[in-house]
Amino acid sequence: MTEKNNQVQIVRRVSLHYAAAFFVYFAAFCMIRSFISLYLLDCGFSYTQVGVITGIHMMVTALVQPYYSDILDRFPKLGLRRFVSLCCIPSILCSLLTFALPAKPVLFILIYIVFGICEIGMQSLMVSIGMEYVNAGLPINAGFGRGAGSVGYAAANLLLGFLIMKFGSPVSHVLNIGLSLLLIFTLMTLPDPETVRTKEVSEAEKNEGHSDNLIDFLRNNPVFALFVFSCVCIFFAHSIVSTYMPNVAGQFGMGADFTGLLNSLAAFLELLPMVFFAQLSKRISPMKLLYISAVFFSLKILTAALAQNPAVLILSQVMQIAAYAVFAIASIYFANQAVRPRNRVMAQGLLVGALETGFTIGSLVGGIVLDHADIRTLLWMGVGVSFIGSVLMILSVKRFEEAGLR
């Protein structure tokens, strides 16, 4: 009984420590991503230059995700926690350089490429750190950690908005330096998964070699590749509602305050499934939860497209609780189970890369469509793409279950 109590204490302590790391990470993430347009405009860049810098930054973030596993293969003693900590150092240096370098597009493209590679792109590795504990037999609440990340992002947004009004947009880079240093400390004080391991390493895992290269990985994991493509489609549509919500709400004469209410409502509701995912997954498997998520992603944008008044938009945002909130955690467990142990980091990277890619393409295409058509046309385009993504996601998860790979 004493040993069992001790195990419970270890799980609780590691879960809280991991949640704190995720909180700090997403707060730092916010400093770079949330007010990027405002910061670059304040530096004197034109809207076109801001679009180019932001677009390159987001695409680099998406494209580099699968290649972190190659670095970890080359330096196996480095480990995930040390690797993420080391990546914070170039990010800190880039924040310092923003105060010293002239506002030249080429220089800031390079700076934001580094931010994309060394900070924003670390999301998949933060997820993989949590999965290391789960795979070691320590049942930490990964959903609680991811939920803490959302809280960190929301809190940082509120704080940063206030501080920018008081001190100007460069304060974001001052805070990024402090939060990056705090993240290094938080990660390096997390216990090594091997020191708290309760699950024996199987012979198959002991004999696992290096991770596959990207082409071989996609060729050898067609079901997961299909799942990744479905995520690109779904997040193409999801980005339309997220990015152009002011346009959606503006149809009914609603302003920025209502848009803020809608976004806050969605952010708050998504916390509940994340925090209580461990309890939820005992009743409904992560695979079945992905079915539910796929359906509600399409229902959410369909409801927004059909909306005739602000109340229906609120209903659309409420669906976030069964769409993104469920997907955010269930997809992590799916990526962890759907591939061989040696490819788990790459799988998480591809997953995050798919979301970034879908979101970026959706935002860019949305802007082009709105130059030539109205918001309703864009929403119905999103409905079509989301429906395709939902069908493909359900199909890929169904194939995974039928193959008996669980």
Q: Tens-of-pLDDT digits for all 406 residues of the chain?
A: 466 667 778 888 888 999 999 999 999 998 888 778 778 888 888 877 877 888 888 888 888 877 887 787 777 788 889 999 999 999 999 999 999 888 888 999 999 999 988 888 888 888 888 888 888 888 787 778 888 888 888 788 778 878 888 888 899 999 999 999 999 999 999 988 877 777 666 555 555 556 677 788 888 889 999 999 999 999 999 888 877 777 788 888 877 667 767 766 777 777 778 777 777 877 888 889 999 999 999 999 999 999 999 899 889 988 988 898 889 888 888 888 888 887 888 888 888 889 888 988 887 888 788 888 888 999 999 999 999 999 999 999 999 888 764 4
Residue 64 and residue 386: Cα distance in Å, rounded?
Answer: 25
DSSP string, 188-250: HTSPPGGGG--SPPPHHHHT--SPPPHHHHHHH-HHHHHHHHHHHHHHHHHHHHHHTHHHHHH
Residue 186 and residue 18: Cα distance in Å, rounded?
Answer: 8
Residue partners of 101: CB distance under 8 A and separation at least 6: 107, 108, 111
pTM, 2 dp? 0.80
pLDDT at 204: 52
Residue 205 and residue 136: Cα distance in Å, rounded?
Answer: 12
Domains of the chain: 1-195 (1.20.1250.20), 210-406 (1.20.1250.20)
Q: State whether residue 308 is helix, strand or coil.
A: coil
pLDDT at 404: 63
